[in-house]
Amino acid sequence: MNSLPIANAEVTRFFHQWLETFAGYVREVDYASARPLFHPEVLAFGTLNDVIPGIEQWIATQWDKVWPKTSDFRFTLEQIQVLASPDGQMAIVIAPWTSTGYHEDGKPFPRPGRATMVFSRNGDGWLCTHSHMSLNRGVPQTSHANRPVKAW
């Protein structure tokens, strides 16, 4: 049996930076800056929804329900795995993440989860075409922070 198609060091470094960039936009609640990282017709799954077609619907039904309600979002870079197709046109990133959620009384709680993201390469670089981000088992689904959106 063939081994997994582990990405080379250059591709892995690129996706580590991509994840750091995206996580920064989540922490800043900056939808405008995060939007170009994704294909306009991205297909997504999330904690709150099943299949979400397109970036605008994903922002409205998932990002805007989660990002302002949490803080401290970060990918756990030392645990990330990156797979890449032999032709260099597709990649899959498997990435655990952490964040902070807030109970109704304002007390924080750890809010870890995991993501699988599929990327396609085009003339302008890599775009995420599928994302599945969900909380780990047993983590409260609702968080009650109320941070402002930096940019739509």
- Which tens digits make up the pLDDT trace of 108-131? 999 999 999 999 998 879 999 999
**Domain CATH number, residue 72:** 3.10.450.50
The model carries a pTM of: 0.95
Give the count of domains, the chain.
Answer: 1
Q: Which domain holds residue 98?
A: 9-135
pLDDT tens digits, one per residue of 52-111: 999 999 999 999 999 999 999 999 999 999 999 999 999 999 999 999 999 999 999 999
Given pLDDT bands bounded at 50, 70 and 90, which one contains residue 25? very high
Is residue 77 situated within a structural domain?
Answer: yes
The secondary element (H helix, E strand) that includes residue 143 is: none
25: nearest Cα among 62, 65, 93, 74: 74
Closest CA to 4 of 72, 87, 81: 81
- Domain for residue 149, yes or no? no
Residue 146 lies in a domain: no
Residue 145 lies in a domain: no
